[in-house]
Structure 1
Amino acid sequence: MSQPSDWPLPPDSSRFVVPRKMVSLLSQHPLAKDLYPLGLGYYKQALNHTMSRNKHDDYLMIYCLDGEGKLTINNQIHTVKAGDIICLPKGVAHAYKASEATPWTIYWVHFSGDKSEDFIDYLAINSNNYVFPLGIHSRLTSDFESLLECRQYSYNINAFVHTASLLRQILTHIAQLQPLAKQQAAHNFDLERVHSLMQARVHEQLELEALAETVSLSKFHFIKKYKELTGTTPINHFIHLKVERACHLLDVTTKSINEISFAVGYEDAYYFSRIFKKIMGISPSQYRRMRMGTFPYTS
């Protein structure tokens, strides 16, 4: 693998190089040979962290959580900020360093495998986008932390097969997040703000105009942009939130169906039951009976 940096490692950071024997086993294992880690780490506020490689013989991903850094490729300098991903294919000469004023905090992983290039293609990595914004995602951070747990099992092949699977999960999750990040950046559309309003008003009716106002769009453009980002309509998502809330109330309270219907913004319990059954496949009363064990989970 490409040599990791020799940045002095403070107590709150970590660096782990997978033992060569384990790499050899992974490269031949039917469940791991397609994609497996070679080295990985977490550098917190990595002041003076720098690396230059004229020869790069594996694949590298860096996820910036905080601060800034610079990446130089083909005499072009790219600024890397919190929420950005660097993904470098094999054979691409590069240099990078942390900002002196606000040094970055990063997760990084070197990887290889028969399908590594396929994953790079899947992420649409090319000479124009070695760095792309993704945003800070708690689940992605958690996945990287889980990936780092492999350093506790230096010679346990099962642990490393699991780590290889986690790496695949991280890359496919990034691919899932990419379109949303691009759309939000292009349209300056604060989807989290819209969803927060929906959650806050799940117990009542909510007009599209009120949702559109949160992102300063007309109702027509709001619906269009929302569907581009999510693949569904805002009303459909809001209805699903109401049904999720109704399921919770059916699980944890003894409220009647009428009371639950009113609690999620429907005055007509019959209409609420129709909506619930359309989404869940069973009626509210059947759902409650299923949770109590008196209605079959599958018919």
Structure 2
Amino acid sequence: MLSSLLTHGHDIRTLVPRGSVPGLGVVAEAAGYEQRRNELYSWDGMKRGTEPFLVIQHTLLGEGRLDFGGARHRLRPGQTMLVTMPHAHRYWLERGGHWEYFWFILSGREALRLGRDVLAVAGPVLQPAEDTAAQLAGSCHALLTRSLTPAQASVLGYQALALLHDVAFAGARPRTALAPELARVLAHVEAHLSSDLRVDALAQVAGLSRAHFVRRFAAEVGLPPSDHVFARRMDRVERLLTASEMKIAEIARATGFADANYLAKAFRRHRNLSPMEFRARRDEAV
């Protein structure tokens, strides 16, 4: 499959304009196989429009660079980059460098959900096995060469994301059963997102001292208690923005934020969007 792409050679194909195919959870917008050498090549994730989409880019030869969340990455042969837009990142070719890669641009609600799941577990740089990389190349080759309906292209885009999802979660450590006192806290958080969930209150639910509770929770759950509560609240906010017509003030009350303004500030830090902008994109994707 990789050999077919190499034989086909460098090419770029736009499949559908963004937003032109409503109803598909994964939309394959474009694909390409490119080589960059001794040229200015740089993409800023905050300067590619306001519509959400993601890029999958697999390095074949040479080396690219990625600055993601303040961390620098070298994108070497065999590595796959996954980034969402808009997002504060930049990827580029160093002066005098050489970078050969194939890529996909995907959009749609399900594409973004899967992409964010992969990023949350594995970060923006993955190392797929050779057979997985070959399957990614096969999907790219099909998008470049075959006559496809939007739904057929969607299947290939979903396949690429599913392959990376497997790569990300294959390396994830299985979660062992939590101690009863911590499991009780997690259940309490889910049932009381609109209530007082400060660390002291959670420590009382666990029946532990504050210091001991914080250490145990971070070690066994993987996040400090306050970060876990914030993540669960943000997840609930996104679900309510997506699946309901509740007002922002109502969502704030339902998820433990003091008011709509406080929620809006927290949500913008989390998603780089206001709640209303997030909801508007949901409506446009339907």
TM-score w.r.t. structure 1 length?
Answer: 0.46
TM-score w.r.t. structure 2 length?
Answer: 0.48
Q: Report which of the two structures shows the higher radius of gyration computed on alpha carbons.
A: 1
Structure with the bigger RCO (C-alpha within 8 Å, sep 6+) is 2
